[in-house]
Structure 1
Amino acid sequence: MIGGIVGIDQDIVKADVTPQVDTANTDISTNYIATSNDYGKIGGENGSDWTIDSNGVLRIQSGTWNDESVAKFWSSLKSDDGSNINAGNKITSVIFEGNIITGNSLASLFDSLENLKSVTVALGAKFDTSKTEDFQNMFSNDSSLESIDMHMFNWENVTSSLSMFYQTGLKSVDMTNINAPKLSDASSMFYNCKSLKSAKFDGTNFSKDGVKLPQFLASCSDLADVSLQNSFTGKITDTSLMFDGDINLEDLDVSSMNLSSDTKTSFMFQTSNNVQDIRRKSITLPADPNITNSKIDEYNTDRYKGWSSNLSGDIVPSLETYYSNNANVGKTTWTLVEKDKSQYKVNYIDQDGNLIETKNESGIIGNPINTTKILGYSDPKNSESQPDLMSIADNNDQEFNIVLKKLAPYKVKIDVEYGDGHPSESFSVDIPYGLTSSSAQVDQSILDKLASNDSLDLDKSKAFIQRIASGNPATEGDGFSLSTVISGFNIDGSDFKSIFNGTIDFVNEQVDSAILEGASGQTFDAFEIYFDKYEQSESHNNGGSTVSKEITDINQKSATFGDKETKLYNSNGVLIPNIQLAKNSDWKNDKQMILDGTKYYRVSTDAWVKASDVYVYTDNISKIRVHADNRSRIIRPNGDLSDRALEKSTEWKTDRYTTINGEKYYRVSTEGFVKASEVSEYK
């Protein structure tokens, strides 16, 4: 692999050692939200004392708990007037500090503690669950709980872990070599853990007499890695919906699982109502599995021919049919086979016959061609050339011509009022049709000016998004406060520049392209904003000539190029001698300066770089896979093409992305970037 890539740190739960904390040096607050002195011990008369301090730390001391229910113990605490003190919502961590022996049931013990982030056992303490039979719903709905050590529990007598971690924030799970010989119901144990990315169950075994696993890992939409080596080898009564909704599982091996004729496997492998979303590529099955109605054959028939294995050279359209017609089939890995593809070119031409751009494409033979939106031109799908009727043939020399209509940008008008009596102002910003990033493809000069004023009143200011969304400038309505826009559109930032760009991006993603195409040339009164005071861009006279200077706060990272050292300037634009930034070095920028039309970023107290001498990037520790139909050409961050390319279907680590010529690119080497549209990102 090409060098210079920042490695990816996997967030894996280490389960071989019970996590312990040394409380000797812990600063324990003397202010308590609640204590057992006021509300009683947990686990009965011989149970444990406990405290919840002002930081939300729940500390549990020694005790032997009885068999009475401890369900939602801390969420149920009430004051003298009978009102709930909501102590459960204040708990951020749990520390077992003494020798604790639990009773028959821990069901719902920590259920719905929405701020709980960690559960640990203090150094020298013990958390003994050897007598406990019921773990169901123990941590369910704990949305902030991202990791936990499964080996802190004694599973010897546990019979139920039903919904134990339902809808938690777990990112990874490791139950390696855990043996729970009496566990017969693990239904929905990790159901709806949307952040779960990896799960290890190597050597994990529950009751040999029969265990229920319906929805065990269902609706874990980020789950990409499941390891089930030598696990669940005993009798399994039910695996219905076990992996339902797990659309990111590409390769799944269930060959050690006992999927006998007595096992209910209905919808076991169902993943999505939209086969386009399913990423599954291979599956390994045990000998003679029962997969009746398991939905194992859910795949994109427009992309794949069917399944292949080492059993024969034939393509198998349906595994369910294959296994129903064939007996004594051993452990087998099945892989989906893609349909044959062909290369072709698409020429985009304006209405005068001039070539706008040529795109090299590839696709499945017999399918319609792929089209790409060109900034400032009509949607190719609406072209009079009817690209939906153009099919890909088994001919790598095919060319297609698509006529596009040039579209004038629509204008977004911004009306500004000031609370200090300064005259009102109005600005217009051009929005080109087909943009993918407002901040990268829309002129930001006016927005930079407005972003420098930190007296924006979010509640008095309004956005009339419905006017753009309807394509009709006269559409009536009260509009939305900018505070509502920020929360409703998940906009990161409260300055007007961030709000404007976030709003335009939202509109571009959500509004029908035909409506936006019809907006061409129109002006929309879309923003009425209110500042408490007027702030003028800084200006001063320098030797008889007026210098315009505007400085605004930013929060970004930038990097220098690799072909030269980068010069530094002071806040007056004067070159700082004998000091330069190193090649390929990274810098944080907290301020931006527009000096006589030239943009600078600050890298130290009074040291600035020209924006043209660096590129701005966003940290993004991830992985990418090159599309199977084409190599991806590597370019430098200044937009120059290199003589290298990434091979088809290869996988690469990436640590950042940037925008080059208005398009998103991922970094794969120190100065090597590939176009986002030519790869797929995965974690």
Structure 2
Amino acid sequence: MQLKHDQNAVVKKKLIKSGKKWVVVSTLSFVGLLLGGAVTGLDVHADAVGTSDTTSSDLTTTSNPNDDSKQVQSVTANVTISSNMGDVTVNNVTGNVGQTLTVNVPAKAGYRVDKSTVVANVNANGTITTNESINYTATELENVQDGVDPNGQNPADSDNNVTEESKAVAIPVAASAQVTPQPAADSEPATTTNNLDDGGQFGTSKWYIDGNKTLHIGAGELGTPRDTYWYQSQHRNEITSVKIDKGVVANVASSDLFSNLISVTSIDGIENLDTSNAARMYSMFINDKKLTTLDLSKWDTSNVTNTQSMFNGMTSLKSLDVSSFDTSKDNQMANMFNGMTHLQKLNLSSFNTGNVTDMSYMFSGDSSLEELIIDPDKFNTSNVITMAYMFKGMTKLKNIDTSKFDTSKVRSTFEMFDGDAALKSLDLSSFDTRNLAGQGQFVNGMFSGTNLYEIKFNEYTGSNFQAGLDYGDWQAVGAGTESNKISGLGIMNRYEKMPAVTETYVRPISGPLLVPTSYSDGKKGEPISSDISVFPGDKFTTNVTVPAVKGYTPYKNGTEKLIANTDGNYTALISGTVKELNDFTATDSILYKKDIQTATGELEIPTTYDDKKQTGFLEIPEVSGVYGSNDNSVDISSYPIPANYTTDTKSVGYSVDADGKITANDKILYKRLQATPQDLTVTTHYNDGTPDGQITIPNVTGSYGSTDDAYDISTYTPQTGYSTTDNTIPISIDSQGNITTTGVVNYTKNAPESIIADVTIKTSQGPQVVKDVKGVPGKTIQVDVPPIEGYTPDKTQVTVTVNDDGITVNDPDVAGYVTYTKNPTSNGGATTPTSTITDVNIDVATFADQPAARLYDSNGNLITNRALQPNTGWFADKKLSKNGISYYRVATDEWVKMDDVYVYTPNNKYVETYNDSSKDVFNAHQKQISRQLRSDSDWITDVYTYMNGTKYYRISSNEFVSANDAFEYTPVNAIVQTNNYNTTVYDEYGNAVTNRQLAAKSSWKTDKTATINGQTMYRVATNEWIKATDVSNVKEQ
């Protein structure tokens, strides 16, 4: 096929050998933008390749000349790939139904993607789909060549005919993964990355080490250990993790693949590695010292022949899953698990070792391994030649099943179990060691450092060797007598001549036997110690001396009474078992039963009262009981009960201890008699002048002679139109059951939800009334200024406050005052200037932070020789509105502009900030300044003013605080006395304080009085106020 030449197109070719022909491997790209990277189906002769710009279509498959199957259906579709930045679409990918395609991942400017390709399937329904996802990571582009944008497109060379479909192509590969796709050509021009190592090709797989120290291994078949790969990287020791993409295929020669990655702590995607063709895995993970877990349960090892040192030196590995390993072809396992010092359990039950010839050092140095699981029928050692050091140094291994080991070909067991201190028994009855006869140098130290107590030998044994078996006294089980003892060396000597007999040898164990004791009265027992010497695994009986204890008789197992010896002690025949040194278990025990004695004496029974008023004792003159008993009781129904009380207790249990002391087990509870339920009348008080009244509380009851300071009456206090916080009252019940109270329920009139009232506005044209204004009491609202025909008001709205009894204009003489200006009239086409002068009676002040205020005459002309100094106050009696500008008169024909002053009212008062938070401070322009007033602080104010309808107090030169953040008060020094009812306490906002009242007719010191919500109040504590209407007397101090 001939492609039309395009000056912006670049065709890159590579020749690879395919059978007897060369295949042209081509990539077609625009400068900086990859268009294709597929192995073409064009077959040419090697000498026919030139430099022409010819190539095949972007995506083809190489046909098989021997393929006589039906025609394959071709599919072209878009492939959607999920990513952390949303779905990415590769358009117009083509393949045949049933194929597996490798699709290039699109690049994104400023980002690095975690994989270069994904695997997609061509489906019969006409779609091409992938289950893989990708992850983009932001990176800073550096050293980008001039004229090339971050996407790799050269603006000068751009081709309008290039479409989005050209930005990625798919490379078809066989579903069996036997055909590995060629990698796509790199985009040009290249940009630098943040990778530690940009890596390269290992076989057909792309690898690199990113800036986060992760080794990435891309899809493809890996090379052999002779190739250059990450092992040769200068950053190998910095790698902390490995990520393996799907589609990675292990080479037949995979030895050392992950070896000496000394900083790696995790491998992600290990299950993605296809090991079905791998044969050599020796040293594959050797010295990966920081890897803690490794799950190889998905691996196919059916073709592996060598696993020597595969996991050697993985000192941090705690979990290893090799449950899927097929080792039927493996012939080399030396050092396979050597030095795995943190591994505690290893399951090799799937291992078939029938072809293995070398098991030396296989588990050596696994010092933490406690459980080694093998299937004796699969762990076939019939071809093993050496077992030297096989289990050496496994200090925590407690048992290993060697009962079916076939050692007929073994030439060395040197130090095979050396140092296995936790191993207590070995069954070597299957060991055929005829090949070791006379070869002591290959057997010596076989049991050195062990603490074996039982060992079973086969009839065939070599001679003249020092196996290191403990030299203590041993006994051949077959001998049957304890007197027939033999040393460890003696056992070896028995096998100097062949044949010998199959025999099990045991070594006696000595140590203390501890017999548990207990006491019938619960007293703690100390075990009885007796030194014995028995054989491991045996049940035994031995005579033990049981010491006498005064006041007690010993029983074996609680039932067999022991007979005293002449020395006063006792002897018991005790049974038990022994496992190993100092591990004896007695199966019998000793119970000391208390000798029966009777005690007589006085009993004091504690008494309690349900009202918790008192405690005491009821004394019973004489009771009796057996020493150590606790099931005694005494009838108390005939004893007197305290006045006004009753009890349900008729009898009380008591105990007699080992010393004869008598103690009550229970207490007597006396319950106070309850008054008959009755109605109680409570006085009510109202804050709106309504006469005092009463409410009735039904079914009031309580204990005789008791008081309740907070009897709940909340169910009976609600009244329409009123609210109260007095939901409890004090009550008293005398000894006759009469109930009284001093409590009073104080009611506050509820504010109406809303009112409708007329609003009167002061204006230059006389009072103007706005009818039927609606508002909620306590709220500030805006009211529209009524229009007057022929006049224009200086404002359209005024701010008003809604009260319970009406609506009033805020600052009616200044901010709330409306000036109407007569509209100008036309006179022969000219406009006649208008001016209006109205009377005012106000104080104005110049701004402290502004220059001197200029003065003008009544015609608006500037007076050049006079001005008002900053921060000075002036009286104004007239207001002039001329040509849209307003003035105040401060002297004869001397006027100041309204915008150059602010209106204030003299107000020499004290103010206190509310205690909820710090308060903002503003200047005379209503601009917040960088200062705040502490909450609950006191200040002197000399004036107040309104700014935008809000009232402010001046507390310093050009410093104001909002009246919403502070309130006025008057200092006093007096004593106030409350009325003859409990008085509600309020906070500084006028809210009732929950569960807080002042007692009736009580006196309190007050330092402040203030008007809060229209009510005069006295302060009696920090943020606690009472109404003046609740005070009966004020005494000045």
TM-score of the superposition, structure 1-length normalised? 0.41
TM-score of the superposition, structure 2-length normalised? 0.28
Higher RCO structure, 1 or 2 (CA under 8 Å, sep 6+): 1
Task: Give 1 or 2 for the bigger CA radius of gyration.
Answer: 2
Query: If each structure's strand is expressed as a fraction of its own residues, which one has the higher value?
Result: 2
